[in-house]
Amino acid sequence: MTTNANPREYLRHTVAAPDGVHLNRRMREVEISWPDGRTDKLSCLALRAACACSSCLHAKRSGRLALYDADITIVDAKPFGVSGLQLFFSDGHSRGVFPWAYLRELGEVE
């Protein structure tokens, strides 16, 4: 029972903050430039699906199927301390916190 990591666990890992985070509303994606030169483009939809706040995690664990509007966007992104981002989605959901290490991993998956 250790593989399904709670993204909050990532807060304990140190991943350097990106050089820049750019919200591309037209493309509905977030562009993250990392200090090592890598650039990740994460779609708003993928990020919404990856939200790991307690209510989303609970929904996933209970097997509830979550359907998101393909047109979903991120209306705002704010730093969450020094360790990540809080994303505000157009469906009104803003409880998710995305630590840098989690965002790195999502970029590797895409």
Which spans of this chain sit near Zn ion (rule: CB under 5 A)? 51, 53, 56, 95-96
The full DSSP string for 41-88 is EEEHHHHHHT--SHHHHHHHHTT------TT--EEEEEEETTTEEEEE
Nearer to Zn ion, 41 or 93 (CB): 93
Residue type, 51: C
Q: Are 103 and 85 in contact (CB under 8 A)?
A: yes
Nearer to Zn ion, 84 or 96 (CB): 96
CA proximity to 92, closest of 104, 109, 76: 76
Nearer to Zn ion, 8 or 95 (CB): 95
Nearer to Zn ion, 26 or 61 (CB): 61
Closest-approach residue to Zn ion (CB):
56
**Min dist. Cβ of residue 74 to Zn ion (A):** 13
**Min dist. Cβ of residue 54 to Zn ion (A):** 8
**Min dist. Cβ of residue 46 to Zn ion (A):** 13
CA proximity to 79, closest of 58, 104, 98: 98
**Min dist. Cβ of residue 89 to Zn ion (A):** 9
